[in-house]
Amino acid sequence: MTSPAVGNKPAAPAVVNNPITGVVLWFKAQKGYGFVKPDDGGADVFVHVAELAASGLADLQEGDRISFCRDSHGDGRFFAVTISKLATGT
């Protein structure tokens, strides 16, 4: 016996709503993506240019400190959403 389908769309991924901070390892605007190393020691997090645009940002540079929430497609890999740059102290 199979479970009935709920609509034709898969369930939306759950956003991990606890913002965390991290450092941009690299971001290639030409490719449209990059990676962030979270300060909590977790696995590197994928950053896509579409999520930057949705967050009102145009680009990231290596070494930028950012705040973000993790999201997942359910396969154990995370990507960044709700991204904001953090002020750097001098």
For 8-48, the three-class secondary structure string (H helix, E strand, C coil) is: CCCCCCCEEEEEEEEEEEEEECCCCEEEEEECCCCCCEEEE
Sorting pLDDT into bands at 50, 70 and 90, what band is 16? Answer: low
- Examine residue 9 and state whether it is found in any structural domain, yes or no: no
Q: What's the CATH number where 49 sits?
A: 2.40.50.140
Query: pLDDT tens-digit profile of 39-90?
Result: 999 999 999 999 999 999 999 999 999 999 999 988 889 999 999 999 876 4
- Examine residue 7 and state whether it is found in any structural domain, yes or no: no
Domains identified in the chain, total number: 1
- Examine residue 47 and state whether it is found in any structural domain, yes or no: yes
- Examine residue 8 and state whether it is found in any structural domain, yes or no: no
Please, what is the Cα angle at 58 between 19 and 72, to 5 degrees? 40
Q: In terms of residue numbers, what domain contains 65?
A: 15-85
- Examine residue 53 and state whether it is found in any structural domain, yes or no: yes
Confidence at residue 87, expressed as pLDDT on a 0 to 100 scale = 86
- Examine residue 27 and state whether it is found in any structural domain, yes or no: yes
